[in-house]
């Protein structure tokens, strides 16, 4: 009887450890994917800001005057 209880306790501990390990790996990969997506969004936003700045500079630059 005591052997069955000990075996059950060991199996429960193994199951809990496995669940915690799986959860840790799953959330670590989710966090890294989220960080990568955020970094891509930031670089796209940075490119958009640069384009807007270049467009504004181009629109506000005075044209050279032509002499008759």
pLDDT in tens, 30-64: 767 777 666 666 777 788 888 887 777 777 767 66
**Looking at residue 61, what DSSP letter applies?**
S
What pLDDT score does 29 carry?
A: 73
| Tens-place pLDDT, residues 41-50 | 677 778 888 8
Structure tokens at 48: 């958009």
| Tens-place pLDDT, residues 13-23 | 999 999 888 88
Gap between the Cα atoms of 10 and 22, Å rounded: 18
């Amino acid at each position: 009887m005591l052997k069955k209880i000990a075996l059950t306790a060991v199996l429960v501990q193994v199951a809990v450890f496995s669940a915690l390990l799986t959860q840790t790996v799953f959330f670590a990969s989710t966090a890294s994917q989220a960080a990568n997506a955020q970094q891509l969004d930031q670089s796209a936003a940075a490119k958009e800001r640069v384009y807007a700045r270049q467009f504004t500079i181009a629109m506000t630059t005075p044209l050279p005057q032509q002499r008759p």
